[in-house]
A and B are shown apart, each in its own frame.
Chain A
Amino acid sequence: MTKIDQVLNAPADASSRDELESAVVRFAGDSGDGMQLTGGQFTEATALAGNDLATFPDFPAEIRAPVGTTFGVSSFQINFGARRIMTSGDDFDVLVAMNPAALKVELPRLRKGGLLIVDTGTFNERNLAKAGYDASPLDDGTLDPFRVVALDISAMTQEAVKEFGLSKKDALRSKNMWALGFVYWLFGRPRITTQEWLTAKFANRPEIANANIAAMNAGHAMGETAELPDGIHGFHIAPAEIAPGLYRTVTGTEALAWGLVKGAELAALELMFASYPITPASPLLHSLAKLQHLGVTTFQAEDEIAAACAAIGASYAGAIGMTSSSGPGIALKGEAIGLALSAELPLIVVNSQRGGPSTGLPTKTEQSDLYQAVYGRNADAPLVVLSTRSASDCFEVGIEAVRLATKYMTPVMLLTDGYIANAAEPWRIPDLDGYEAFPVEFTTDPEGFHPFLRDPETLARVWAKPGTPGMMHRIGGIERSYDTGHISYDPENHHKMTKVRAAKIDGIAKDIPEQSVELGETSGKLAVVGWGSTYGPINRAVDNLIHRGKDVAHIHIRHIWPLPENLGELLKSYDTVLVPEMNNGQLITLIKAEYLIDAKPLNKISGQPFKIKEIEDAILDILEG
């Protein structure tokens, strides 16, 4: 397959498109420029063209940062190709920069020889100064290493939408569609999905819809007809080889919402979801709020604590209570989660992790709440911790969370992150009838009943819900007697109950799949052990190096607590274990503590996902170092 820079260096031939294996495109502009929408549209069209893909929306914490500043830059990255795409890509092949600030922020990651599409209409003195440029980078040689398509997109957009009689401000709002039209031409993408989307979105304002469509068509026409510099012409990326089936694109948030709904259905329980707005977790509340017709109840609580408490109240009343937040909010929920595990009620707690501590980097991704999930409560307070590796994985993990919470009467912490929540990828829509139900059986027999009677095998307590005749009982956060379920301050009893609570969670290791090896052998020189959204870059890096003959394997952990039963033995069968994490080393501590093995950390705490090359380099350091 041809590399994009070879194509760019090839003689101009506008009549044919050059074949590429994959490409990384980054749309960058001001927060108000609509880059996320533009990227979303390109994603949809690319998925329909049959490519595999992964995306990375990267936007500022401020809703509207001052226009034209570097901290107001909002970007959307997509990696798509004719092969399996594991990450949103490292450096970009194509960068669309809608203003000087976007160029300033993103140019360092455009590959040498990469294609830069830039709106020169925004390169005035004021915007250059805001971006921190002393001189225009268009003229001073800064862009020499790149292939540059410098066009006055602003002016051409205004020209294209002239006939609709919009104000200048409204007219300029269509320039993202002009750029999208151009990129559609570049990769031979059909425009029909975006045209339909615009028509529906602006059904009440057809002049806006038409202006946007006209801008997109103008951008597309520019690619088709204009003389572009340096032999730039269109590319073709063949459909990827993907397992047969019916596909759609899905974000982690959507897949998780659906997985939780499906899980509740399999458990035969009502779903009550209580949450408080926080970045980047709020979209899950929004997604579930749209599913009320499926019996889902969503509740926007007054604070994080109330959200957790309401969810626990719902579980107490016989539903499956769920709450969701990001690290700081999870911290606030800690006491309530302690009650849920003490009163032994099922509860799902979703943590969309973000950069921390404290407010940290709200819109940037990190996986630094593993300690909080596993250890972050007062006293001996074990619960189940699961993690999700990708957008599509969220569906399965959502179901697994409900299964474990209800079967074992325990809170389950489900770790996802801002990257997974927002990123989109193609998803083979699962067969909803193919899942085995796990309906909850409420206790209704008063004979010999007390609320802390346990299943001898799972150690889960019985669940009698209010409204059931003859089963009246009181529970709470005070220690209760193992034998009667009544309040007990007996010292021996507290020792026993603490051990039982721990044994119940530990026992779940027998009820989860053994740890498998994603790639490579089950023993050897090096295992790369990851969890969560590092799946893509680790998998691709290991795959690349296996193809280069290296003795390396990829292990990815979904069940963080309890850990799979065979994990310790498995890890001991490798000479070295490398643990890449987007934190300062948390899973590695857990593994060391549990198995007393030596492991090497690889930490990236920049709010950005790992690059494949960073992981490859770390692996080669160990194997060859």
Chain B
Amino acid sequence: MNELTPPEKRTAKDFATDQEVRWCPGCGDYAILRAVLNTLADIEADPANTVFVSGIGCAARFPYYVETYGFHTIHGRAPAFATGIKLANPELDVWVVGGDGDMLSIGGNHLMHVIRRNVDVQVLLFNNEIYGLTKGQASPTSRAGTRSPSTPLGSVDNPVSACVFVLGAGARFVARGIDAQQKDLPSILKRAHAHNGASFVEILQNCIVYNDGVFADITEKAVAADRQVVCRHGEPLVFGKDQDKGIKLNTETLSLEVVEIGEDGPEAAGVLVHDETNRTLATMLAGMDDETLPVAVGVIYCDPGESYGDGMARVKDQAVKRAEGADLKSIMHAGHTWTVAD
């Protein structure tokens, strides 16, 4: 574990710690952990240069299970810690992990700002639409009417859409994945990692104890193909068991709708081609939460811009140039000084 020069490529197993994993048996977090460990092996991450930062909650235990550097911080604030880490050492590869309560409720503000600043980190939001560690209260992503110990007659508040929220905050990389999709999730994570700037990945995660099956209507084998549309840049937005449906823009209502693809193919049916650099399209796709529309998964938006670290480095260079070699001593001696003689 402590070798300085690894003799051969690390496997997913090499990225696992010796700590006993303490999530409930059957928790979706196990699947996400597997996908992340596989991704780390795949991208040949340097464990010494990788940091996992988390807040509080079930998801936030994540760093203890990854053989890299890890900082388990306080509730909701992981993006702020991650920002400080990147400011101090821009070379570190930083992953931020949290749940929907952690990142959208108590830490909603910090999520907004890490995104708008475009800090070069990967933010993984495990969305299970419930508070797990505090035993099952409604969360900011719980659907209205959710019955929980804190909302025995059903929750009244409307849920927030994580992806739409971050797009509104100026996100430049937004993706959505599903815990059990072990083929697709690592490829999304890989793209998130490759993106320079803040990359945001919402991962729909099943809480087996407090919200079991909350995503069953879109993830069950029988319905998955009809309820998910996979976003692939440059390809038509088609879905369905037989790839016979597509997403079309209704130009009168300025909204998305499902269209049947006839024999002439998607183009003739007016199916949209996914352009991951189109923020308006991304926002509409991310916001598809009506039962008549499928849920968008994959890379919904990717349009890189200057990262916060690059911007800070640029400004610092400017400061150095302007200062023309001034050091602390010359600053302290600048302006009016006078000598008191012996």
Contacts and interface: CB of A to CB of B under 8 A. Distances in A.
Given A258-B331, A319-B88, 13 more contacts: A247-B338, A309-B80, A313-B53, A313-B88, A316-B84, A317-B85, A343-B71, A469-B48, A474-B69, A474-B71, A476-B73, A477-B72, A487-B64
A318 B340 contact: no
20 contacts: A247-B337, A248-B333, A249-B336, A258-B328, A272-B84, A292-B315, A294-B331, A297-B312, A306-B80, A306-B83, A307-B80, A313-B88, A317-B84, A317-B92, A432-B332, A466-B49, A469-B4, A470-B1, A474-B17, A477-B74
B327 interface: yes
Given A291-B331, A339-B74, A466-B49, A305 B80 contact: yes
B58 to A, nearest CB: 14
B19 interface: yes
A310 interface: yes
Given A306-B109, A316-B71, A467-B91, A246 B19 contact: no
A466 B49 CA distance: 6
B110 A314 contact: no
Contacts, number: 200
B89 interface: yes
B92 A248 contact: no
A211 to B, nearest CB: 23
B329 interface: yes
A440 to B, nearest CB: 13
A472 B67 contact: yes
Interface stretch (B224-232, B240-248, B287-295, B317-325): B317-325
Contacts of A487: 19, 64
Q: Taking each of A44, A242, A313, A473, which has the highest tally of chain B beta carbons within 10 Å of its own beta carbon?
A: A313
A307 B77 CA distance: 10
B154 to A, nearest CB: 32
B10 interface: no
Contacts of B283: none
Given A193-B336, A297-B312, A314 B69 contact: no
Contact of A339 (B51, B73, B87, B327): B73
B71 A476 contact: yes
B339 A246 contact: yes
Q: Taking each of B67, B84, B329, which has the highest tally of chain A beta carbons within 10 Å of its own beta carbon?
A: B84
B2 interface: yes
B179 to A, nearest CB: 22
Interface residues of A, number: 68
A292 B53 CA distance: 27
Nearest to B112: A302
B200 to A, nearest CB: 17
Interface in B244-274: none
B11 to A, nearest CB: 16
A374 interface: no
B47 A466 contact: no
Q: Give 7 nearest A-B pairs by CB, closest first.
A: A313-B84, A476-B72, A310-B84, A474-B70, A293-B323, A309-B80, A313-B81
Given A44-B336, A429-B337, A466 B51 contact: yes
Nearest to A335: B74
Interface in A449-469: 465-469
Tell me the dominant secondary structure on chain A's binding face.
Answer: mixed
B19 A486 contact: yes
Contacts of A321: 84, 88
B340 A50 contact: yes
A246 B209 CA distance: 71
Interface string B82-123: 111111110110000000000000000110110000000000
B69 A473 contact: yes
Contacts of B82: 313
Contacts of A357: none
Contacts of A141: none
A467 B337 contact: no
A445 to B, nearest CB: 10
Given A305-B80, A306-B113, A466-B69, A248 B332 contact: yes
B115 to A, nearest CB: 11
A616 interface: no
A314 B88 contact: yes
A36 B51 CA distance: 48
Contacts of A307: 80
B8 interface: no
B80 A301 contact: yes
A335 B1 CA distance: 34
B23 to A, nearest CB: 14
A21 B35 CA distance: 79
A303 B47 CA distance: 32
Given A317-B84, A336-B74, A467-B89, A248 B327 contact: no
A309 B337 CA distance: 39
B89 A466 contact: yes
Nearest to A299: B87
A475 B109 contact: no
Contacts of B71: 313, 316, 343, 474-476
Q: Taking each of B88, B322, B329, B331, which has the highest tally of chain A beta carbons within 10 Å of its own beta carbon?
A: B88
A297 B69 contact: no
A474 B84 contact: no
B77 A306 contact: yes
Contacts of A314: 84-85, 87-88
Contacts of B323: 293
Interface in A512-531: none
Contacts of B89: 317-319, 465-467
A311 interface: yes
A467 B63 contact: no
Contacts of A465: 89
